[in-house]
C-alpha cells in the first residue's frame, strides 16, 4: 500500500500529525482540510444506520456483524445509565469522560482509554455531555436499527 496510514489525527490547536510509512513513524504539518465541527465522525461512519438507543441526546451509528455489533456513540447531554448487565462490552473513548461503576467499583475513563465489561457483570454509567466512543458488544442483537 503506497499511502501512509494515520496513527493519530491532529487535535484542534496542534500543528502536526503522526503518520506511519513503511513501519517508521514521522511527523508532518497538519493538513489544512479538516472535518466539519458539526460532526465528530466522518461520513464513512455517519452513513451507517442509526442504532435505536432509548437515551435522549445520544447519536449512534451501528455496524452489524454476524454475532457482534460496533456502535459509534456521541452524547449531547449529561446522561445517567442505571445498573444493568448484558453480554461482554469493550470500548475505546474517543472524546470526553465517562464514570463507570463496574461490579461495584467506580472508574473514570477519558479520551484514549479503553475498558472491558465481562458478560453478566452489573454496571452503570454517568456520561458527560460531549462524550464519544466506539463500543463493541459481543451480542448480535444488543441494539436494533432505528
> With 60 as the cut, is the pLDDT of residue 8 above it?
no
3 state DSSP class of 73: strand
The percent of residues in the chain predicted with pLDDT above 90, rounded, is 73
CA distances from 75 to 1, 54, 80, 89, 130 (A): 36, 12, 11, 18, 5
- Cβ atoms 45, 36 nearer than 8 A: no
**Ordered structural domains, the chain, with CATH:** 1-34 (no CATH), 43-137 (2.60.120.10)
What are phi and psi for residue 43, nearest 5 degrees? -55, -30
Segment 50-71, tens digit of pLDDT: 999 999 999 999 999 999 999 9
pLDDT value of position 94: 98
Mean pLDDT along residues 118-133:
98
pLDDT value of position 23: 54
Mean pLDDT, the chain, integer: 83
Quote the CA–CA distance of 30 and 14 in Å, as a whole number. Answer: 8
Amino acid at each position: 500500500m503506497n499511502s501512509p496510514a494515520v496513527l493519530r489525527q491532529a487535535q484542534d490547536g496542534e500543528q502536526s500529525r503522526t503518520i506511519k510509512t513503511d513501519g517508521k513513524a514521522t511527523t508532518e504539518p497538519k493538513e489544512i482540510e479538516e472535518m466539519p465541527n458539526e460532526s465528530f465522525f466522518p461520513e464513512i461512519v455517519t452513513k451507517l444506520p442509526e442504532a435505536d438507543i432509548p437515551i435522549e441526546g445520544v447519536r449512534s451509528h451501528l455496524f452489524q456483524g454476524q454475532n457482534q455489533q460496533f456502535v459509534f456513540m456521541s452524547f449531547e447531554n449529561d446522561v445517567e445509565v442505571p445498573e444493568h448487565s448484558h453480554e461482554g462490552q469493550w470500548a475505546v473513548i474517543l472524546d470526553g469522560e465517562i464514570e463507570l461503576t463496574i461490579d461495584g467499583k467506580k472508574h473514570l475513563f477519558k479520551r484514549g482509554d479503553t475498558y472491558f465489561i465481562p458478560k453478566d457483570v452489573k454496571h452503570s454509567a454517568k456520561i458527560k455531555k460531549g462524550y464519544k466512543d466506539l463500543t463493541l458488544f459481543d451480542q448480535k442483537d444488543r441494539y436494533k436499527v432505528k
